[in-house]
Structure 1
Amino acid sequence: MWKLVIADDEPKIRRGIENVLNWDRFGIEIVGQAEDGEIALQIIKEKKPDIILLDINMPFLNGLNLLQKLKEIDNKGIVIIISGYDDFSYAQKALQYNVFDYVLKPVSKKNIEEIIVKVVNKLTENEKENNYLEWVKRQLTENREVLQKTFFSEWFNNKLSDEQVLKEMSFFDIEFGRNIGIMVIKIVEKLNIEISSSNWNIELLEFAIANILKDEFKNLELKYIFNDDKRNIILVSKINDMVWWISVAKEIQTEIYKYLKCNVLIEQASVSNSVLKIKDEYTKIINSVNEKKKCSSMVLLTIKYIEDNYYSNDLSINYISNRLEVTSSYLSKLLKKETGLSFIDYLTKIRIKKAMYIMEDPAIKIYDVADLVGYSNQHYFCRAFKKVVGISPTEYKRGK
């Protein structure tokens, strides 16, 4: 039933309205009557009616003042003004408060019935809209994670313009802050000959890796984990500690191997102050992963070992070749042939790339950066950095 309140200072008018229609036929219940504006306000606050029949000229608190009060309490009821001919110009002022309609005294059955039919139709229409909006909200809440993953997938596959991306982020309340990280994890069969020759289930592995990521990054206040259409597992995250972000890839690799006995390629990057550049970094990472996939399993394992241990001062081709049970000369030639870089050049490239990410944090000192990426000598680090980047670490930081 729709709830109706009648507010008029004339008892005869109130009784007339009460008896003029069979209110049950319209699904309406009269829940209160008021003889002045103050009483009407209290009844409306208490009963929260759907329809208010309001005399424009009442004692203590007239119709216009009551409308102002109703606006302040965010009244949702539909207001119909009752007005005499002498009050008609006065009643017109009430239109600024979005009253639904007005009925002139003396109140006739025909006039009020026509208005009530329109009101009930409007209330029914509003109810349908509200029910639909509530359904949409429930769907959004229940499927929010899926919808967000769809958004990122469409973005990374060039299906959205920058304007659409920003609009979607606003819709999902995504606010990464200054530093944003992106990580791509790729399962490569040639790194997993043993498991790929048995019960290889890449979908199950991808699901398990996504769960490991969720657990490893559970303390991050903002993160999104999803799969792209190229069978890559993607993490996009807000970063509070850049040094931790750079070092976490090895931890992830360790956890994946510990629980799944699966080797993966992991590439990561970071972006500062420009969320739209995340997709560009994603594209660069995918290109890098695709290049690595062309390498033999021996070179892939070498690359992985370099990238997992670049921060070690005594990392050498001899150490890696011993682990892979080949000669260092053979491994050096193979690495150079497939990547175009010597062991030292490849190691230097990785160390400088990591250093550039770490220096996204303006507070970190250059000598700390050098130590974090495997250089015990700051001068040697600066020389290597300038050779690769073209400018010194100090100049690079100054330009950030």
Structure 2
Amino acid sequence: MWKIVIIDDERQVLQGMKRVIPWEDLNAEWAGEAMNGEDGLALIREVRPDIVITDIYMPIMNGMDMLEQLRKAGFAGKVIILSGYSDFEHARQALRLSVSDYVSKPISVPTLETILYKVIQELMEEEEKRTKQGELEQKLMLYEPFIEKEWVRAAVVGTLDHSYPNGVHMPEPYRYWTEKRHAAIGIDLVRDIRVNELSLSDLNLFRFAMSNIACEIAGELFPAFEYAELHSTRSVLIVHPEPAAMPQDKTQQKLEELAVRLIESLKGYLKMTIRVGIGSVKERWTDIPDSTEEAFRASDRREYRAVPDYEVYSGGGKEDGTRRTGAAVQFPVKFSYRLAGAIKAAQEEEAQRLVADYIAELKTQKGVTAEYLQTLGSELWGIIAYCLYEAGFAQGDLVANDQVAKELVGLTDAEQLRQWLSNKISLVCDSRQYKGNSKHRQLVDYMTDYIHEHYAEELTLAELADKVYVSRNHLSIIFKNITGETFNNYLIRVRIEKARELLLERRMLVYEVAEHVGYKNVPYFSTLFKKVTGMNPTELIK
């Protein structure tokens, strides 16, 4: 209820006001009264009313002096002045002190009611505005880590707007980039039979595990780094060698060591094969996208092998004598990242524009063969298919794999490729089920990211439902439809995957690992661990 205090040196006025104000209709309550400004000041400081009705001329302290002190102290409530005198100077002062209304005594009951209704309406509107602002701030705080991740991705591929190069608008955690050097390590997960057979949930867990391993290894070799997932099977590590801390060849050796350890660790722990490209070291952070392009161009072409016997390729042209020809076709990382983003959001017009612009550029290049176009089409279809995959759809629901393969063989020029891609994009984006679930996919992406960030904490679906302003039951259905499993099962699998990694490191005891991933009951943790992995925690570390 709205609290109202009345301050007047005439007791008759006080009693009359209390009697005629329609308290119930206004959803208001009488919060106190005073007969001079000094007592009124003390009363207002104590009860913090929403509305103050006050006279001006009162003993000890007048209404204006009282209001002056209140405003200086930060009182933001509404003030209605009732005065028996028409005084221009006081009216001007009242305006300066943000008084809601200034009326002369005597005041009729209808006029008083009208004024109070108006003031309370203002209070309600301000309350609603504060509530919306609070919700917005809460959402911004909630999404800030993920907004920062998107900023890093954009910085890595070169899609930031032009307001960032001077560093003024950079997120605080990344302003140190302006004082560092930078190199991109492009990581491409090889699509073997095992990877192609993974479910969406399993692939997300593997990507989560890949990020943990990559970050741990990078942290041992470089004091500063960032990891960003791009699209499909690609991700990138941005490392920051200390300026002039070591010769260029020593820096290159550390980059190659990082690449080799990534390959060995992912093969050893996850049984996954990756190909790694190394971009050249850049002095300016705004050149990071160039290093990213070099890294993935090296990985795609596979021309200059940097390390014998390992799928590590250098974008700087270093060669071990084994140059490959007829290698996989490459395309700009920026283009592929933007295309994936447009398809994920079901933005058909933007996706079509990106493809049209890229193919137009391709037409100007010499030596573009039919084999080149077919390989490029296959790579671009891989992005589209992965977007379907992330959305929880099997690509076979829209286009059969053998049909795509037959269609690709028939592509012999760039215009045919453009038309083929245009048809596929329209087919995906026009799908009512795909388009209708675009917001749901974004919501689930946020939820899975949140789980991976906070798996060690007490997490419940109800808590996340409150954070994203969706009912618990509805959120449960959305999550199950997109991922194919329940929220609790997904949380358990994330925790157990992290626990498995910690146990294999052999740095912590079983009970310590259990607590680290969110389980205080060790027997319960052991039961879940065996259910998910097929073995007890103690068996894993023998």
Q: Which residue of 2 aligns with 1:104?
A: 104
Q: How has the CA–CA distance of structure 1 residues 255 and 334 changed in structure 2, closer, same or farther, with 3 Å as cutoff?
A: closer
Q: How does 1:214-253 map to 2 (within 5 A)?
A: 214-215=215-216, 225-229=227-231, 231-235=233-237, 243=245, 247=254, 250-251=257-258
Aligned 8 A contact 1:85 1:104 in 2: yes
Query: What is the aligned-residue RMSD (CA, Å)?
Result: 4.2
The answer as to whether partners of 2:3 and 2:29 remain within 8 angstroms in 1 is yes
Match of 2:192 in 1: 196
Q: Which runs of 5+ in 1 are unaligned?
A: 309-316, 318-330, 340-400
Find the residue that maps to 2:194 and give its secondary structure.
Answer: coil
Higher strand share: 1
Cα gap change, 1:148 to 1:86, in 2 (>3 Å)? same
Contact 1:188 1:293 (8 Å CA) reproduced: no
Which secondary structure does the structure 1 equivalent of 2:133 belong to?
helix
Matches of 2:287 and 2:174, distance apart in 1: 18
| Distance (whole Å) between structure 2 residues aligned to residue 30 and residue 75 of structure 1 | 18
**1:315-326 correspondence to structure 2 within 5 Å:** none
Please, which runs of 5 or more residues in structure 2 have no aligned partner?
Answer: 328-542
After superposition, where does 1:161-172 map in structure 2 within 5 Å? 161-163=161-163, 169=169
Alignment-derived partner of residue 141 in structure 2:
141
| Residue 156 (structure 1) shift | 5.1
Higher radius of gyration, 1 or 2: 1
Q: TM-score, normalised by structure 1?
A: 0.62
Any conservation in 2 of the 1:212–1:256 contact (CA below 8 Å)?
Answer: no
The equivalent residue for 2:465 is none
Alignment of 1:8-87 (within 5 A): 8-87=8-87
Whether the 8 Å contact between 1:103 and 1:111 is mirrored in structure 2 is no
Distance 1:121 1:167 in 2: 44
SS at match of 1:106: coil
Give the AA of the match of 1:265: V
Q: CA separation in 2, counterparts of 1:243 and 1:230?
A: 35
Give the Cα–Cα distance (whole angstroms) in 1 for the partners of residues 276 and 111 of structure 2: 76
Q: For the residues of structure 2 that align with 1:87 and 1:221, how far apart are their CA atoms?
A: 70
What is the match of residue 302 of structure 1?
308
State the match for 1:210 in structure 2: 211
Alpha-carbon distance between aligned partners in 2 of 1:332 and 1:216, rounded to the nearest angstrom:
25
Q: CA deviation at 1:55?
A: 2.3
| Residues 1:136 and 1:287: Cα distance change in structure 2 (over 3 Å) | same
Counting aligned pairs with the same residue, the percent is 23
Q: Distance in 1 between matches of 2:320 and 2:206?
A: 32
In 1, Cα distance between the equivalents of 2:204 and 2:244? 31
For the Cα contact (< 8 Å) 1:53–1:79, is it kept in 2?
A: yes
1:176 is matched with which residue?
Answer: 175
Indicate conservation of the 8 Å contact 1:184/1:232, yes or no: no
SS of the equivalent of 2:175 reads coil
Distance 1:169 1:183 in 2: 22
How many angstroms does 1:83 deviate by? 2.4
Deviation at 1:135, TM superposition (A): 1.4
Quote how far apart the aligned CAs of 1:263 are: 4.1
Contact 1:179 1:271 in 2 (8 A): no
Is the CA contact (8 Å cut-off) linking 1:216 and 1:252 kept in structure 2?
A: no
Paired with 1:103 and 1:39, the residues of 2 have a C-alpha distance of 22
Residue pairs, 1:223-302, within 5 angstroms: 225-229=227-231, 231-235=233-237, 243=245, 247=254, 250-251=257-258, 254=261, 257-258=264-265, 259-261=269-271, 262-265=273-276, 267=278, 277-295=284-302, 299=305, 301-302=307-308
How many residues align structurally? Answer: 308
CA distance in 2, matches of 1:175, 1:188: 25
1: distance between equivalents of 2:8 and 2:209? 69
> Aligned match of 2:322 in 312, 319, 334?
334
1:106 to partner: Cα distance:
1.4
Q: CA deviation at 1:290?
A: 0.9
Aligned-partner residue type, residue 119 of structure 2: V
Counterpart contact for 1:209–1:256, Cα < 8 Å: no
The corresponding residue for 1:321 is none
CA distance in 2, matches of 1:70, 1:153: 50
Distance 2:312 2:230 in 1: 27
Structure 1 residue 118: Cα displacement: 1.0
CA apart distance, 1:264: 4.4
